[in-house]
Amino acid sequence: MPSFPATISLLAIPIKFSEKQQASHYLYVRGHRVREGTKSSWPQKRTLFVLNVPPYCTEECLSRLLSPCGPVQSVELQEKPDLAETAKEPKSKFFHPKPVPGFQVAYVVFQKPGGVSAALALKGPLLVSTESHPVKSGVHKWIRDYRDSVLDPEALRVEVDTFMETYDKKMAEEEAKAQEEEGVPDEEGWVKVTRRGRRPVLPRTEAASLRVLEREKRKRARKELLNFYAWQHRETKMEHLAQLRKKFEEDKQRIELMRAQRKFRPY
């Protein structure tokens, strides 16, 4: 059983994977709280912090286990506790890191503060996999993970378009703010100077981008990758020396032939 510092009061909740399992696994829980004056992306009075979450316990499973304590608003699994003080961006369905292959921590947000108190009073053991809610493991879990890894092209396109619209809007707001602040002195009297090009760059159309890519492709096709490896460099030197020797021998033969053809003709 893992040990924790005495200053952190954690309560243990036993869980079992199924009824057939005799040994219990323990979740260590406490109410989420941060230091006074520190901002947190999780509501303190409605968030339950959970340690030692096993790999087979998913967010959906953890939400089901704690739903008797009260309506669960959200559950998020992480590799380690979240120390960020700023609000987190919404998690993407497609662009996110691979799941952590081990024990994790979880932040469970209830709709009401009473859910945290009820969760801290749980005795257990709680069953992770039941007949009504079976949890897949082994080969069945691998098959499910593979099917989930196949992306929906249309949904992916919608998310990318939404992200780019948000990004373009953010960049436009930053540019407008920079134009407003340009030439305006700050509190100390300093004026921020920015460098801009003479002509703004026009956005490329799809056809123009394709032409540029085709041009670059032709350039790469014309170029030959010479002397990239050490053995190529050695072979090039050997071929050059062989050509010099061959030319030297040809020159010697030509000179000997010219000497043999010389005749003394005084008249």
pLDDT tens string 55-74 = 888 888 888 888 888 899 98
Parent domain of 249: 225-260
| Number of compact structural domains in the chain | 3
pTM of the model: 0.52
Asked which of 106, 129, 149 is the last residue of a domain, the reply is: 149
Asked whether residue 28 falls in the same domain as residue 110, the answer is: yes
Do 22 and 97 fall within a single domain? yes
Each residue's pLDDT tens digit, 248-265: 999 999 888 888 887 655
What is the per-residue pLDDT across 81-97, written as a single tens digit (0 to 9) for each?
Answer: 876 554 456 666 666 65
| Contact between 48 and 29 (Cβ < 8 Å) | yes
The verdict on residue 60 lying in a domain is: yes
The highest-confidence range among 22-36, 71-85, 130-144, by mean pLDDT, is 22-36
| Strands of the 25-31 sheet, one edge to the other | 72-78, 104-110, 47-53, 25-31, 11-16, 126-127
Q: Which band of pLDDT confidence, cut at 50, 70 and 90, is reported for residue 3?
A: very low
> Is residue 205 assigned to a domain?
no
Query: Does residue 84 share a domain with residue 64?
Result: yes
209 is a domain residue: no
**pLDDT confidence of 237, banded at 50, 70, 90?**
confident
- Cβ(73)–Cβ(109) under 8 Å? yes
- Of 159, 177, 158, 157, the C-alpha closest to 169 is 177
Question: Do residues 17 and 109 both lie within one domain?
Answer: yes
